[in-house]
Structure 1
Amino acid sequence: MKTSTRLPTLVSISLLTTVLLACSAKPPLAPPETPVPQGEAATLSGWADILGPISAPPNWQVKPCVNAVLLCVEANGELIGTVERFSHPISEVPVPGGLPLPEGSELEFLQAWVSNHYRTIEADRQVADPALKFVAETPTAISVGTLPGLRYDYTITHPNGALFDRSLGYVTTDGTMVHVFVTGVISGDPSGSFSDEELVETFTPHLNTIIQGLKL
């Protein structure tokens, strides 16, 4: 690998800013590097005020971390991963035709948001290491609380097929703010991350349920 891939990925016109904060309860990895937020506009938002019904595999526990922007996921009392929540004003996003969004156009807006995010991440990783392979999944519609949203998913692998990054995210908008919830297996980052892809796969259907039950 030529250089670290933890670059400020979404600085210019990017639409997702990974504002990475270590979980102050039990950080599973070393402290992360901190990217520059897009337009300095990213707003950290806590879980406690929006968390609804909890779903988890047997002997797993899910609760807000001491660091309020992270949702802690534990197995038998041991931290195994986190899910990060943050928001930024929709006014910071270039929207064709301007704002407010026309009624019923939310999913179209979110599709463009995800497409831009995919392009930005892929370009960032290619600059850092051209040998890395980026594979993006087609985003799927999912309710985020009572709001329309999208679930997106991408994988980055080494030439030998070994996993480098796996990101799973949910995005929605209430017309004023863009709300993002993200986790996965992200190299070098303890925030919004699990240590193992199998754990992510196990937790994903439960996270879908949690996201759909948010008080948004």
Structure 2
Amino acid sequence: MTDDYAAAAEFYDLMATPYVATVEPVLAKMLAEVDTIAGPVADIGAGTGLSTMLVADALPDARIIAVEPAAPMRAVLLSRLAARKDLRERITVRPQGFLETRLPTGCAAVVALGVIGHFDPATRSRVWRTIADALAPGADAVVEVQRPGRVEPSAERRYTTARAGELRYEGWSRADPADADSLVWRMTYRTYDGDRLVQEVRTEHHVWPADAERLTAEAHAAGLRLTGADTATGLLRFTR
């Protein structure tokens, strides 16, 4: 997974702007009852820090552990912290994968946006147990169902556009089944100066889709109970 994001890191934040605007109020609502005195909040697969910033804004008193194995994505996250002394004092960035990171017990919450599909079904059971073990009793985990939630092909489409200065950026995606359980998302990022294409970058991500019903069953087996769901964003809240 770490190499998959080497090319995407350059464009990630520009492409994610509409997504962040949609997710922000829902995530803030799901985290509204988090007791930040209980312990830190873990952000799994923090990426460039977009989700970390959402958690930091929603919980201004929380200590946050941001877990991100991909160095290009982590570089953007650390750049954010370099510019924000207030955040540097309360956000710790762990440069390992989630299952290689030793989280403290008694976390006030765990957040996993855009990440659960990167684990195959056998590994996901370990992920759920690790989340449950990290949470304080009564604490919540917010996990995103990554669309489409099932193995099916998706024709190439332009999913977003953005502008920065004189240049226009386009994000394109296509999904191809790899086997009965997984997909390969093929992402293309194009940069235009007017109508002239000046840059094109392609990358691929291997994912194992799971819908809300399946994730809920997996979480329940680990001792987590579904206590909230938002179908528009795919966010699910589980309580230990």
- Shorter-chain-normalised TM-score: which range? 0.3 to 0.5
Higher Cα radius of gyration: 2
User: What TM-score do the two structures reach when normalised by structure 1?
Assistant: 0.32
User: What TM-score do the two structures reach when normalised by structure 2?
Assistant: 0.30
**Structure showing the higher strand proportion among its residues:** 2
> Which has the bigger relative contact order, CA under 8 A and spacing at least 6?
1
**Structure showing the higher helix proportion among its residues:** 2
